[in-house]
Structure 1
Amino acid sequence: MQNLAPLAERLRPQNLREYVGQTHLVGVNAVLRKAIESGQLPSMIFWGPPGVGKTTLAYIISETLDRPFFNLSAINSGVKDIREIIEKASALKDGLLGKPILFIDEIHRFSKSQQDSLLGAVERGIITLIGATTENPSFEVISALLSRCQVYILQPLTEEELVGLLETAVKKDTVLSSKQIKIKEHEALIRLSGGDARKLLNVLEIAINGIGGEEIVLTNENVLEHAQQNLALYDKAGEQHYDIISAFIKSIRGSDPNAAVYWLARMIEGGEDPLFIARRLLILSSEDIGNANPNALLLANNCFTAVNVIGYPEARIILSQCVTYLASSAKSNAAYQAIGKAQSLVKQTGNLPVPLHLRNAPTKLMKNIGYGKDYQYSHGYEGSFSPQEYLPESISGTTLYEPGKNAAEAKLRETLKQNWKEKYNY
């Protein structure tokens, strides 16, 4: 029993019939399924959260098409490893064994030079590349490689799908099916897994082993009792990724620099990509601080640039400076809420016509029908301000931006009230 593979590995699907989730991609007549069935498989990037089946799907594709399969992890592979596999793949392709599939897990961790080393093989058709990433490939994959790949977005598994996995495990696994196991409550199992199928099965296995015996009834209480304290054993290779980044962001938003720098240290010690951290700080500087302190965005942007140039270990100092500053700063989500309101308004009202006086009039015909007529050039008025209408007539007077209650935005509020009088009378 000591050499027994983990439950998640024992239950790994071997074909599309056993595969759970992603019906928008691999269901009947879905786009990726059609590509697999036709054998015309493009290079691709799987983008989605942990535990939704990215690695498994790549393996199933290779098995279905009977293609040679190579697997690299971006965490511990370099350009030399890539070149060696491309040489092997080239030999296999020339030997009429079919175009090999090269699966690269966490491809977002590859440097530009590492990604560049893949380009030639993808372009010449030596390999079909399948990359997996939890990060937006538009930011993490070089444009030359991304343009040669189809991006498929994998969705989080639904509660129904996760419960189905639990039922399959206790009924079909060779070890668990020999016991009498009843899942009376599943909420704790799902909550501890965070929607990660692999982690869900790990939690199930920990709980069952902890309870022991041949007749086991799983409840929320005994799952928490036996699984929670041992769950860290299965949090290798970044499975706590989303929990820790959530705690990190919420600590900065909550203006607690001590907690923020602690979670920063947890990520650094865990080997988190410093650019991932810096990118989240950039987003937060606008979403949670915004116009309460415009310098926050400037500092976060400089932090991102510096971290990109410096790298570890010195980047930790730059990140710490930015994190403690952002956590200590005044906060406002007014800009974030404003764009949310504006987008909702656009969805509700559709493509409202641009007022004639705001339209561009590059031709004589456009001028003749009133484009640009009566537009008031703001700099020609006192204080560089003219109280003309800038919104479509049907939504005139709509308030989208409401300055936050902090010193910096209080000044913006007064300026708006002074200029617009009742129109911006917050």
Structure 2
Amino acid sequence: MSSTHIPLAERLRPRTLGDVIGQQHLLGEGMALRVAFESGQPHSCILWGPPGVGKTTIARLMADAFDAQFLSISAVLGGVKEIRESVELAIAARDSLDPKRTIMFVDEVHRFNKSQQDAFLPHVESGLFTFIGATTENPSFEVNSALLSRAAVYVLQSLSVDDLTQIIAKAQAIGAVPALEDAALERLIAYADGDARRLLNTLETLSVAANREKLEEINDAWLMRVLGERMRRYDKGGEQFYDTISALHKSVRGSDPDAALYWLVRMLDGGAEPKYMARRLIRMAAEDIGLADPRALRLALDAAEVYERLGSPEGELALAECVVYLAVAPKSNAVYKAYNEAKALIKKDGTRPVPMHLRNAPTKMMKDMDWGKGYRYAHDEEDGFAAGENYMPEGLETTGFYRPVERGLEIKIADKLRHLRDKNKQAGK
């Protein structure tokens, strides 16, 4: 088969431990998994980490390192039948004239139920195969304690910007991807968000499109156009409908109850679905009124429920009552702006690990890993506030997303936040 028909992710899959990008806290010299590889003695383990960080690759490399038969089961597609068939293959490999070890790799092991996970236990104990489970979920919750006690748990991390940059360079080195403008490279890495599989699949899509257009370099504008096409949906006949919705929304925001009521009735009279209108009113309550009057959101939800119970035309009166209330309520888009600023930062910044002191540790394994260590229980502190405590990811300063306005309830909220910030300053934060 031509290499052009082999998925890029498979073409770039590491063939040796030295080819692996990322996870150096496990695979670097003297680190736990590297020592396991070099010992010549495979052991059962669970690889826990987000998608696209190398769990399957590490399992395959382990099989190669120990000259073992590699058997793979997907917990999404497989069941007890597949487990039995794999056990038979492991027995056959062990009892052949040229005996071989078996690595039993179970992808998304958390999706197997208790009885399916139990089916592995006797064979793990007998040494018929080395069990390697991969999971994106916390094994303390999703893997049977009996199986967990027989397997080491290795925590894999999302790939860093440098890791993803190296992967793109490798793809370019084999001619699989055109050159990337700096802005396009940054956006693509942010889009991948630590997931090598997502990065490579996206690169493959971009490469096909770039070759079709005979591009020598991918720039940011072109990248956005191609990625955007995946989700873009636009009804060209709907301009008037959305113009009218816009007029309603802006009348509410502008605190004009008469205009808001006019546009609501005009839309209902024109055949707009009242349930759709109710959803839009809920959105307006959250976006334009927010915490200046939290009752607005509750009233919007109540109006939607009343319409569900009464239907037309009686239920439409509840929508009218809601739209008038929203128009005359104090306005604040502070939460809306804070949400958008946080979303923009997350999109640009990627996924940072949760600080150890903020992690939940309901199991012994997690406590032994220092999860939750040093956490200050706010209820036990003066005024129920742990002055000076940090709740943001390490290295990310509090940026003040939420800035209350001096209207409605947010006046009191602003006073409270100023008081708490003063206490933080006094504590030396």
TM-score by length of 1: 0.54
* Residue 187 (structure 2) aligns with: 188
Deviation at 1:401, TM superposition (A): 7.6
* Residue 385 (structure 2) aligns with: 400
Q: In structure 1, what is the Cα distance between the partners aligned to 2:149 and 2:206? A: 45
Q: In structure 1, what is the Cα distance between the partners aligned to 2:208 and 2:169? A: 17
* Residue 359 (structure 1) aligns with: none
* Residue 90 (structure 2) aligns with: 89
Q: In structure 2, what is the Cα distance between the partners aligned to 1:110 and 1:192? A: 31
Q: In structure 1, what is the Cα distance between the partners aligned to 2:121 and 2:371? A: 41
Find the residue that maps to 1:230 and give its secondary structure.
Answer: coil
Alignment gaps of 5+ in structure 2:
233-277, 281-356, 360-369, 388-408, 410-429
**What amino acid is aligned across from residue 142 of structure 1 in structure 2?**
N
Query: Deviations 1:289-328 (Å, cap 9, x if unpaired)?
Result: xxxxxxxxxxxxxxxxxxxxxxxxxxxxxxxxxxxxxxxx
Q: In structure 1, what is the Cα distance between the partners aligned to 2:166 and 2:35? A: 25
Deviation at 1:89, TM superposition (A): 0.2
* Residue 40 (structure 2) aligns with: 39
Q: How many residue pairs are counted as aligned between the two chains?
A: 253
Aligned 8 A contact 1:47 1:132 in 2: yes
| Closer, same or farther: CA 340–35 of 1 in aligned 2, 3 Å | closer
Aligned 8 A contact 1:187 1:220 in 2: no
Q: In structure 2, what is the Cα distance between the partners aligned to 1:209 and 1:111? A: 40
Q: In structure 1, what is the Cα distance between the partners aligned to 2:374 and 2:173? A: 47
* Residue 288 (structure 2) aligns with: none
* Residue 134 (structure 1) aligns with: 136
Aligned 8 A contact 2:67 2:101 in 1: no
**What amino acid is aligned across from residue 11 of structure 2 in structure 1?**
R
Bigger mean CA deviation after superposition, 34-43 or 2-11:
2-11
Find the residue that maps to 2:84 and give its secondary structure.
Answer: helix
Aligned 8 A contact 1:192 1:203 in 2: no
* Residue 117 (structure 2) aligns with: 115
Q: In structure 2, what is the Cα distance between the partners aligned to 1:67 and 1:198? A: 25
Find the residue that maps to 1:17 and give its secondary structure.
Answer: helix
Q: In structure 2, what is the Cα distance between the partners aligned to 1:28 and 1:84? A: 37
* Residue 225 (structure 1) aligns with: 225
Aligned 8 A contact 1:7 1:201 in 2: yes
Q: In structure 2, what is the Cα distance between the partners aligned to 1:27 and 1:2? A: 31
Find the residue that maps to 1:103 and give its secondary structure.
Answer: strand
* Residue 274 (structure 2) aligns with: none
* Residue 146 (structure 2) aligns with: 144
| Closer, same or farther: CA 348–66 of 1 in aligned 2, 3 Å | closer
| CA RMSD between the two structures | 3.5
Q: In structure 1, what is the Cα distance between the partners aligned to 2:116 and 2:174? A: 41
* Residue 202 (structure 1) aligns with: 201
Alignment gaps of 5+ in structure 1:
233-256, 260-338, 350-389, 407-426
User: Which aligned pairs between 1:48-127 and structure 2 lie closer than 5 A?
Assistant: 48-95=49-96, 96-127=98-129
**What amino acid is aligned across from residue 167 of structure 1 in structure 2?**
A
* Residue 353 (structure 1) aligns with: none
Aligned 8 A contact 1:181 1:217 in 2: yes
Q: In structure 2, what is the Cα distance between the partners aligned to 1:201 and 1:133? A: 21
Aligned to 2:158, which of 137, 156, 159?
156
| Closer, same or farther: CA 344–60 of 1 in aligned 2, 3 Å | closer
Query: Deviations 1:121-156 (Å, cap 9, x if unpaired)?
Result: 101000101110000011111111111011100000
**What amino acid is aligned across from residue 399 of structure 1 in structure 2?**
G
Deviation at 1:346, TM superposition (A): 7.8
| Closer, same or farther: CA 17–94 of 1 in aligned 2, 3 Å | same
| Closer, same or farther: CA 153–211 of 1 in aligned 2, 3 Å | same
| Closer, same or farther: CA 113–182 of 1 in aligned 2, 3 Å | same
Q: Which runs of at least 4 in structure 1 moved beyond 6 Å after TM superposition?
A: 343-346
Deviation at 1:43, TM superposition (A): 0.4
| Closer, same or farther: CA 126–223 of 1 in aligned 2, 3 Å | same
Q: In structure 1, what is the Cα distance between the partners aligned to 2:34 and 2:231? A: 35
Q: In structure 2, what is the Cα distance between the partners aligned to 1:155 and 1:50? A: 10
Aligned 8 A contact 1:47 1:153 in 2: yes
Deviation at 1:347, TM superposition (A): 3.7
User: Which aligned pairs between 1:314-393 and structure 2 lie closer than 5 A?
Assistant: 347=374
**What amino acid is aligned across from residue 41 of structure 2 in structure 1?**
Q
| Closer, same or farther: CA 182–84 of 1 in aligned 2, 3 Å | same
| Closer, same or farther: CA 5–258 of 1 in aligned 2, 3 Å | farther
| Closer, same or farther: CA 68–94 of 1 in aligned 2, 3 Å | same
Q: In structure 1, what is the Cα distance between the partners aligned to 2:216 and 2:358? A: 48
**What amino acid is aligned across from residue 114 of structure 1 in structure 2?**
Q
Q: In structure 1, what is the Cα distance between the partners aligned to 2:87 and 2:372? A: 51
| Closer, same or farther: CA 79–346 of 1 in aligned 2, 3 Å | closer
Q: In structure 2, what is the Cα distance between the partners aligned to 1:120 and 1:156? A: 33
**What amino acid is aligned across from residue 224 of structure 1 in structure 2?**
M
Aligned 8 A contact 1:189 1:220 in 2: no
Q: In structure 2, what is the Cα distance between the partners aligned to 1:42 and 1:344? A: 25
Query: Deviations 1:82-106 (Å, cap 9, x if unpaired)?
Result: 0111111012123353320011100
| Closer, same or farther: CA 397–164 of 1 in aligned 2, 3 Å | same
Q: In structure 2, what is the Cα distance between the partners aligned to 1:165 and 1:2? A: 18
| Closer, same or farther: CA 207–118 of 1 in aligned 2, 3 Å | same
Q: In structure 2, what is the Cα distance between the partners aligned to 1:50 and 1:228? A: 22
Query: Deviations 1:161-218 (Å, cap 9, x if unpaired)?
Result: 1111111111125x44xxx634433122122223210110111221222233555212
Q: In structure 1, what is the Cα distance between the partners aligned to 2:192 and 2:110? A: 23
Q: In structure 1, what is the Cα distance between the partners aligned to 2:372 and 2:73? A: 46
User: Which aligned pairs between 1:236-251 and structure 2 lie closer than 5 A?
Assistant: none
Bigger mean CA deviation after superposition, 80-89 or 126-135:
80-89
Q: In structure 2, what is the Cα distance between the partners aligned to 1:216 and 1:21? A: 29
Deviation at 1:51, TM superposition (A): 0.4
Query: Deviations 1:350-389 (Å, cap 9, x if unpaired)?
Result: xxxxxxxxxxxxxxxxxxxxxxxxxxxxxxxxxxxxxxxx
* Residue 325 (structure 1) aligns with: none
